[in-house]
Chains A and B, each alone.
Chain A
Protein backbone atom coordinates (compact mmCIF):
# COMPACT_ATOMS: atom_id res chain seq x y z
CA UNK A 1 0.00 0.00 0.00
CA UNK A 2 1.35 3.43 -0.86
CA UNK A 3 2.01 5.63 2.08
CA UNK A 4 -0.29 8.47 2.93
CA UNK A 5 2.25 11.07 1.87
CA UNK A 6 2.64 9.53 -1.55
CA UNK A 7 -1.11 9.47 -2.13
CA UNK A 8 -1.39 13.04 -0.98
CA UNK A 9 1.33 14.09 -3.39
CA UNK A 10 -0.33 12.31 -6.26
CA UNK A 11 -3.58 14.00 -5.44
CA UNK A 12 -1.88 17.36 -5.30
CA UNK A 13 -0.27 16.72 -8.66
CA UNK A 14 -3.60 15.83 -10.24
CA UNK A 15 -5.18 18.87 -8.68
CA UNK A 16 -2.51 21.12 -10.12
CA UNK A 17 -2.92 19.46 -13.48
CA UNK A 18 -6.61 20.07 -13.59
CA UNK A 19 -6.16 23.61 -12.40
CA UNK A 20 -3.77 24.28 -15.26
CA UNK A 21 -6.25 23.03 -17.81
CA UNK A 22 -7.59 25.31 -20.52
CA UNK A 23 -11.02 23.82 -20.10
CA UNK A 24 -13.12 25.74 -17.62
CA UNK A 25 -15.16 22.66 -16.76
CA UNK A 26 -12.11 20.58 -15.94
CA UNK A 27 -10.76 23.36 -13.78
CA UNK A 28 -13.97 23.50 -11.85
CA UNK A 29 -14.17 19.72 -11.90
CA UNK A 30 -17.87 19.60 -12.53
CA UNK A 31 -19.72 16.36 -13.16
CA UNK A 32 -22.26 17.66 -15.59
CA UNK A 33 -23.22 20.85 -17.35
CA UNK A 34 -26.53 22.29 -16.32
CA UNK A 35 -28.65 23.55 -19.19
CA UNK A 36 -30.22 26.09 -16.85
CA UNK A 37 -26.88 27.76 -16.19
CA UNK A 38 -27.39 30.50 -18.75
CA UNK A 39 -24.48 32.56 -17.49
CA UNK A 40 -21.95 29.88 -18.37
CA UNK A 41 -23.65 28.80 -21.57
CA UNK A 42 -23.83 32.33 -22.88
CA UNK A 43 -20.04 32.45 -22.95
CA UNK A 44 -19.91 29.45 -25.24
CA UNK A 45 -22.01 30.84 -28.09
CA UNK A 46 -21.20 33.49 -30.66
CA UNK A 47 -22.93 36.74 -31.51
CA UNK A 48 -24.92 34.78 -34.03
CA UNK A 49 -25.90 32.16 -31.47
CA UNK A 50 -23.62 29.48 -32.89
CA UNK A 51 -21.82 27.14 -30.53
CA UNK A 52 -18.09 27.82 -30.37
CA UNK A 53 -15.69 25.03 -31.23
CA UNK A 54 -13.26 23.49 -28.79
CA UNK A 55 -10.33 25.39 -30.25
CA UNK A 56 -12.00 28.64 -29.39
CA UNK A 57 -13.07 27.83 -25.86
CA UNK A 58 -10.41 25.32 -24.85
CA UNK A 59 -13.08 22.88 -23.75
CA UNK A 60 -12.24 19.22 -23.57
CA UNK A 61 -14.21 16.88 -25.79
CA UNK A 62 -15.98 15.16 -22.89
CA UNK A 63 -17.43 18.47 -21.82
CA UNK A 64 -17.95 19.79 -25.33
CA UNK A 65 -20.40 16.95 -25.91
CA UNK A 66 -22.24 17.72 -22.69
CA UNK A 67 -22.14 21.40 -23.53
CA UNK A 68 -23.67 20.79 -26.93
CA UNK A 69 -26.63 19.03 -25.35
CA UNK A 70 -27.00 21.63 -22.65
CA UNK A 71 -27.07 24.45 -25.18
CA UNK A 72 -29.59 22.68 -27.33
CA UNK A 73 -31.85 22.15 -24.34
CA UNK A 74 -31.50 25.76 -23.32
CA UNK A 75 -32.37 26.82 -26.84
CA UNK A 76 -35.49 24.71 -26.81
CA UNK A 77 -36.58 26.34 -23.55
CA UNK A 78 -35.91 29.81 -24.98
CA UNK A 79 -33.09 30.56 -22.56
CA UNK A 80 -30.72 30.92 -25.47
CA UNK A 81 -31.55 31.90 -29.02
CA UNK A 82 -31.20 29.66 -32.02
CA UNK A 83 -30.12 32.65 -34.08
CA UNK A 84 -28.64 35.92 -32.94
CA UNK A 85 -28.00 37.09 -29.40
Chain B
Protein backbone atom coordinates (compact mmCIF):
# COMPACT_ATOMS: atom_id res chain seq x y z
CA UNK B 1 0.00 0.00 0.00
CA UNK B 2 1.35 3.43 -0.76
CA UNK B 3 1.70 6.06 1.93
CA UNK B 4 -0.41 9.12 2.27
CA UNK B 5 0.10 12.58 3.73
CA UNK B 6 -1.89 13.49 6.81
CA UNK B 7 -2.50 16.52 8.94
CA UNK B 8 -3.29 15.87 12.57
CA UNK B 9 -4.19 18.20 15.38
CA UNK B 10 -4.05 17.12 18.98
CA UNK B 11 -5.43 18.94 21.97
CA UNK B 12 -3.08 18.30 24.86
CA UNK B 13 -3.92 18.69 28.50
CA UNK B 14 -2.97 22.25 29.36
CA UNK B 15 -1.34 21.62 32.73
CA UNK B 16 0.86 18.84 31.45
CA UNK B 17 1.76 20.71 28.30
CA UNK B 18 2.75 23.94 30.02
CA UNK B 19 4.79 22.08 32.59
CA UNK B 20 6.76 20.17 30.00
CA UNK B 21 5.72 20.54 26.40
CA UNK B 22 8.50 18.38 25.03
CA UNK B 23 7.48 15.41 27.10
CA UNK B 24 3.78 15.74 26.36
CA UNK B 25 4.24 16.24 22.65
CA UNK B 26 6.77 13.44 22.78
CA UNK B 27 3.98 11.09 23.77
CA UNK B 28 2.18 11.97 20.56
CA UNK B 29 5.32 11.54 18.49
CA UNK B 30 5.93 8.15 20.03
CA UNK B 31 2.48 6.93 19.11
CA UNK B 32 2.88 8.13 15.56
CA UNK B 33 6.28 6.60 15.10
CA UNK B 34 5.24 3.36 16.73
CA UNK B 35 2.85 2.79 13.85
CA UNK B 36 5.33 3.70 11.19
CA UNK B 37 4.41 7.31 10.54
CA UNK B 38 7.13 9.61 9.34
CA UNK B 39 6.62 13.00 10.94
CA UNK B 40 7.23 15.76 8.45
CA UNK B 41 6.52 18.80 10.58
CA UNK B 42 5.24 19.49 14.01
CA UNK B 43 4.59 22.61 15.99
CA UNK B 44 2.84 23.98 19.00
CA UNK B 45 -0.06 25.59 17.24
CA UNK B 46 -1.72 27.48 20.06
CA UNK B 47 -2.54 27.60 23.74
CA UNK B 48 -6.04 28.80 24.16
CA UNK B 49 -9.35 28.64 25.90
CA UNK B 50 -11.49 25.89 24.47
CA UNK B 51 -14.85 26.85 22.99
CA UNK B 52 -16.44 24.35 25.35
CA UNK B 53 -15.35 22.07 28.14
CA UNK B 54 -13.63 18.84 27.15
CA UNK B 55 -13.10 16.21 29.83
CA UNK B 56 -13.44 18.87 32.46
CA UNK B 57 -10.76 21.05 30.93
CA UNK B 58 -11.32 24.62 29.85
CA UNK B 59 -7.93 25.39 28.36
CA UNK B 60 -5.86 23.34 25.97
CA UNK B 61 -2.61 23.31 24.11
CA UNK B 62 -2.92 22.61 20.42
CA UNK B 63 -0.26 20.52 18.78
CA UNK B 64 -0.23 20.34 15.00
CA UNK B 65 1.63 17.68 13.08
CA UNK B 66 2.03 16.72 9.48
CA UNK B 67 3.08 13.18 8.80
CA UNK B 68 3.21 10.48 6.16
CA UNK B 69 1.87 7.04 6.87
CA UNK B 70 0.20 3.99 5.47
CA UNK B 71 -3.58 4.32 5.55
CA UNK B 72 -3.86 1.09 7.52
CA UNK B 73 -1.91 2.60 10.39
CA UNK B 74 -4.39 5.37 11.08
CA UNK B 75 -6.89 3.18 12.89
CA UNK B 76 -4.18 1.96 15.21
CA UNK B 77 -2.99 5.49 15.84
CA UNK B 78 -6.52 6.57 16.72
CA UNK B 79 -6.86 3.68 19.13
CA UNK B 80 -3.65 4.51 20.96
CA UNK B 81 -4.45 8.18 21.12
CA UNK B 82 -7.84 7.52 22.64
CA UNK B 83 -6.24 5.52 25.40
CA UNK B 84 -3.87 8.35 26.24
CA UNK B 85 -5.15 10.58 28.99
CA UNK B 86 -2.96 13.55 28.17
CA UNK B 87 -4.54 13.92 24.75
CA UNK B 88 -8.01 15.38 25.09
CA UNK B 89 -9.02 15.26 21.48
CA UNK B 90 -7.46 14.72 18.12
CA UNK B 91 -8.33 14.82 14.47
CA UNK B 92 -6.50 13.28 11.54
CA UNK B 93 -7.17 14.61 8.08
CA UNK B 94 -5.91 13.08 4.87
CA UNK B 95 -4.33 15.59 2.54
CA UNK B 96 -4.68 15.30 -1.20
CA UNK B 97 -1.80 17.63 -1.89
CA UNK B 98 1.80 17.35 -0.69
CA UNK B 99 2.42 18.67 2.80
CA UNK B 100 4.69 21.51 1.82
CA UNK B 101 2.27 22.71 -0.80
CA UNK B 102 -0.63 22.50 1.62
CA UNK B 103 1.14 24.60 4.23
CA UNK B 104 2.15 27.18 1.69
CA UNK B 105 -1.35 27.38 0.26
CA UNK B 106 -3.15 27.69 3.58
CA UNK B 107 -0.90 30.42 4.86
CA UNK B 108 -1.18 32.36 1.60
CA UNK B 109 -4.94 31.99 1.55
CA UNK B 110 -5.32 33.07 5.14
CA UNK B 111 -3.39 36.21 4.33
CA UNK B 112 -5.52 36.81 1.23
CA UNK B 113 -8.74 36.47 3.20
CA UNK B 114 -7.46 38.74 5.95
CA UNK B 115 -6.50 41.34 3.40
CA UNK B 116 -9.82 41.03 1.67
CA UNK B 117 -11.72 41.57 4.90
CA UNK B 118 -9.55 44.58 5.70
CA UNK B 119 -10.29 46.12 2.34
CA UNK B 120 -13.99 45.44 2.44
CA UNK B 121 -14.77 45.94 6.07
CA UNK B 122 -15.91 49.54 5.69
CA UNK B 123 -19.14 48.45 4.08
CA UNK B 124 -19.80 47.61 0.46
CA UNK B 125 -18.27 44.76 -1.37
CA UNK B 126 -15.78 45.76 -4.06
CA UNK B 127 -17.25 48.39 -6.33
CA UNK B 128 -15.46 51.66 -6.75
CA UNK B 129 -12.79 50.92 -4.21
CA UNK B 130 -11.80 47.68 -5.82
CA UNK B 131 -11.95 49.00 -9.34
CA UNK B 132 -9.61 51.79 -8.46
CA UNK B 133 -7.04 49.58 -6.80
CA UNK B 134 -7.94 46.53 -8.86
CA UNK B 135 -5.01 46.64 -11.22
CA UNK B 136 -2.61 46.79 -8.35
CA UNK B 137 -3.56 43.34 -7.12
CA UNK B 138 -0.81 41.25 -8.69
CA UNK B 139 -0.58 37.47 -8.93
CA UNK B 140 -1.73 36.00 -5.67
CA UNK B 141 0.50 32.97 -5.75
CA UNK B 142 -2.38 30.73 -4.66
CA UNK B 143 -0.37 27.56 -4.63
CA UNK B 144 -1.95 25.48 -7.36
CA UNK B 145 1.60 24.76 -8.49
CA UNK B 146 4.06 23.88 -5.77
CA UNK B 147 6.23 26.77 -6.78
CA UNK B 148 7.90 27.45 -3.47
CA UNK B 149 8.05 24.29 -1.42
CA UNK B 150 9.52 25.39 1.89
CA UNK B 151 12.05 23.24 3.72
CA UNK B 152 10.55 20.55 5.83
CA UNK B 153 13.25 20.51 8.50
CA UNK B 154 12.32 23.09 11.06
CA UNK B 155 8.84 23.21 12.58
CA UNK B 156 7.11 26.00 10.77
CA UNK B 157 4.85 28.61 12.32
CA UNK B 158 1.45 28.60 10.69
CA UNK B 159 1.46 32.38 10.39
CA UNK B 160 1.38 34.23 7.07
CA UNK B 161 4.81 34.03 5.60
CA UNK B 162 6.79 37.08 4.60
CA UNK B 163 6.85 36.15 0.92
CA UNK B 164 3.09 35.72 0.79
CA UNK B 165 2.62 39.19 2.24
CA UNK B 166 5.08 40.66 -0.23
CA UNK B 167 3.25 39.02 -3.12
CA UNK B 168 -0.21 40.23 -2.28
CA UNK B 169 0.13 43.56 -0.56
CA UNK B 170 0.85 46.72 -2.50
CA UNK B 171 1.28 50.33 -1.45
CA UNK B 172 -1.96 51.34 -3.18
CA UNK B 173 -4.21 49.49 -0.78
CA UNK B 174 -4.20 52.32 1.74
CA UNK B 175 -7.33 53.56 -0.02
CA UNK B 176 -9.39 51.34 2.22
CA UNK B 177 -8.25 53.04 5.46
Do A36 and B126 touch (CB < 8 A)? no
Indicate whether A65 reaches chain B with its CB closer than 8 angstroms.
no
Cβ-closest chain A residue relative to B90: A77
Partner of A31 from the list B64, B109, B126 (CB cut-off 8 Å) is B109
Interface residues of chain B: helix, strand, loop or mixed (majority): mixed
Q: How far is the CA of A82 from the CA of B50 in the complex (A)?
A: 12
Interface residues of chain A: helix, strand, loop or mixed (majority): loop
User: Mask for A26-50, Cβ within 8 A of B = 1, else 0?
Assistant: 0111111010110110010000000
Indicate whether B105 reaches chain A with its CB closer than 8 angstroms.
yes
User: Mask for B109-123, Cβ within 8 A of A = 1, else 0?
Assistant: 110111111001000
Q: How far is the CA of A52 from the CA of B78 in the complex (A)?
A: 32
Number of interface residues of A (CB under 8 A): 30
B residues in contact (CB < 8 Å) with A? 9, 11, 45, 50-52, 54, 60, 62, 64, 89, 91, 93, 105-106, 109-110, 112-117, 120, 125-127, 130-131, 134, 137, 140, 142-144, 158
A residues in contact (CB < 8 Å) with B? 15-16, 19-22, 24-25, 27-32, 34, 36-37, 39-40, 43, 58, 73, 75-82
